[in-house]
Structure 1
Amino acid sequence: MNSLPVRETAVLAEDEWQARRAAHTARVRRWTDPHHERKQRGEKHPVLDFLFSYYSHRPARLERWHPGPGVVLAGESALEYLRWPAYTRTADGVTLDTAAFAESRRATVEFVHALLTATATRQPRLGCFGLHEWAMVYRQRPDQVRHNAWPLRLGGTGTDAVVESASIRCGHFDAFRFFTQDAAPRNTLQPTRATQVEFEQPGCLHAGMDLFKWSYKLDPATPSELVADCFELAVRIRELDMQASPYDLATLGYRPVRVETERGRAEYVRRQAAFAEEGRPLRQALIDLSGALLAA
């Protein structure tokens, strides 16, 4: 492990860290406010609900700002951070007790570090064309389809035909486990939870979205600006994920990426490659963070 132990490196004046906290909260409320409003109306959103239902980081947690390791918060109002056991008081203010946090969450930190490090060593594999979403509705009755409030663009028969004519190569277990019983044997890979570290690769849309999950799994050690960066990338990846799905989401403003056509597949691969590149520095930041926590 090459990472150095995390040390206190900066003292933030009260007005400085409060400004950063306010900026973070305003940034993520672009997403959390509409989510709250939809919930109050009882309105489902097949694209954006995923960020708050599949992922377990509640909106209130996303809005909460943490500075991350190596930062001391000065001023009386910093004492409010002592409500969380990860924080401790110093002569200069309040800071994350990095060693105590790392010890209490060691298994999680070790797993995140191992998974992301292994993923970063691999070249992105492109060309799955988002067919995992198609495999999740393969041969299902209309009432069984997960997002059955929205029609399938090609209907049930047309959707099944795409699955049957394609080579499905999904290596992400948390996508594969939602395949229908009939679709699972059609996958060229059979990922399991035990092989997750072995199969994960940076071209996978779900691996890119999961950077958000790994960032909040290290909360409150992850600087909230990094959590927000990972969240915003996950939002945009999710949009492509569902644009390439069999659902017709035109009424929500999502133009389909028709992966059943050559042109649609080419667009999917271009955007998939771009997201893999965008995720690279975020993944490295989480590798550096988890490595430093293990060395603390």
Structure 2
Amino acid sequence: MLDEPAWRARAAAHEARVDTFVRPHLERRGARVKHPVHDFLFTYYSQRPAQLRRWHPGYGVRLADAPEYDGLKGYEDGTVSAAYVASQRPLVESIHALLSATAARPAHFGCFGLHEWAMVYRLGEDETRHADWPLRLGGAGTDAVVESHKVACSHFDAFRFFTGPARPLNTLSPGRDDRAAFEQPACLHAGMDLYKHAFRLTPMISSDVVADCFELARDIRELDMRAAPYDLADLGFEPVRIETPEGKTAYVEAQRDFVRRGPPLRTRLVEECERLLAY
């Protein structure tokens, strides 16, 4: 049981923490200004800003004097109900299986972020997903980078956005239903997806874990786009030139840092799944 002053203090601290990222996004959205790096976590993933700001203590904690939680998904009498946890068992089992398989697989450091390059392969610059920002090497130069490298994307949600001509160049064929057979801990998208898995477990796990995963995902997204073919210098992002030996080294060094930061969060989510499955 958390008394009202205690849980309100924790909720306020959570809101202040995530508002560092949420408020700039809402301001850009109100001004109809797009940001190819920082908007991603709010537009690609299904969790809305208001949902991210809402603090939850997780299953097993009851909030005293918390009428604003009445009627929220999963709640009953100030706490997440056992019936709700039971109803989410298939979701929890699937997340547990995927994260456990990913954690058990060796990290692969040879992708160099080429998924973003494969997403624009043989497209005109006005056809790319971020057409407001030019390609650093132009269309022909970008295509040449893809053609001169081994493309080995293991993440289905990146692979599915490859252009038609780029798909056969991938040495792997990840599918929607076999993610556990492919995802590996050095993949940037697998690292960002820890945020997705965390918010899908909401409100059964603490929002502190969700915020930790969000912050990791935001940092990963910056590397993802710095290593992409776009010229984002006007936004203050120095490119990681993965088409050069120096750029590859810089990319792998940053990737290794995320591989150090990601496993504790992945382990925490696995443990939370196991706790929920025990009930």
User: What is the TM-score normalised by the length of structure 1?
Assistant: 0.92
Q: Within 2, Cα distance between the matches of 1:14 and 1:106?
A: 30
Q: Within 1, Cα distance between the matches of 2:36 and 2:73?
A: 36
Task: Report the counterpart of residue 179 of structure 2 in structure 1.
Answer: 196
Task: Report the counterpart of residue 88 of structure 1 in structure 2.
Answer: 76
Task: Report the counterpart of residue 153 of structure 2 in structure 1.
Answer: 170
Q: CA RMSD in A?
A: 1.0
Query: Which residue type is aligned with residue 27 of structure 2?
Result: E
**Is 1:127 aligned to 2:110, yes or no?**
yes
Q: Within 2, Cα distance between the matches of 1:121 and 1:176?
A: 22
Kept after mapping to 1: 8 A contact 2:125/2:135: no
Q: Within 2, Cα distance between the matches of 1:208 and 1:264?
A: 21
**Is 1:233 aligned to 2:223, yes or no?**
no
Task: Report the counterpart of residue 255 of structure 2 in structure 1.
Answer: 272
Query: Hey, which bits of structure 1, 4+ residues long, moved more than 3 A?
Result: none
**Offset at residue 69 of structure 1 (A):** 1.8
Q: Within 2, Cα distance between the matches of 1:130 and 1:17?
A: 41
**Which of residues 203, 207, 222 in structure 1 aligns to 2:205?**
222
Superposition map of 1:1-296 within 5 A = 11-74=1-64, 76=65, 78-89=66-77, 94-97=78-81, 99-296=82-279
Deviates more, 1:229-238 or 1:192-201: 192-201
Kept after mapping to 2: 8 A contact 1:124/1:273: no
**Offset at residue 79 of structure 1 (A):** 2.7
Query: Which residue type is aligned with residue 3 of structure 2?
Result: A
Query: Which residue type is aligned with residue 134 of structure 1?
Result: W
Where does the alignment leave 5 or more consecutive residues of structure 1 unmatched? 1-10
Query: Which residue type is aligned with residue 79 of structure 2?
Result: T
**Offset at residue 66 of structure 1 (A):** 0.3
Q: Within 1, Cα distance between the matches of 2:31 and 2:202?
A: 30
Q: Within 2, Cα distance between the matches of 1:195 and 1:86?
A: 29
Kept after mapping to 2: 8 A contact 1:126/1:272: yes
Q: Within 1, Cα distance between the matches of 2:205 and 2:40?
A: 22
User: Cα deviation per residue 1:123-167 (whole Å; 9 max; x = unaligned)?
Assistant: 211120000000000000122111010010000010000001000
User: What is the TM-score normalised by the length of structure 2?
Assistant: 0.98
Where does the alignment leave 5 or more consecutive residues of structure 2 unmatched? none
Total equivalences in the alignment = 279
User: Cα deviation per residue 1:21-55 (whole Å; 9 max; x = unaligned)?
Assistant: 00000111111111111011110101111111110
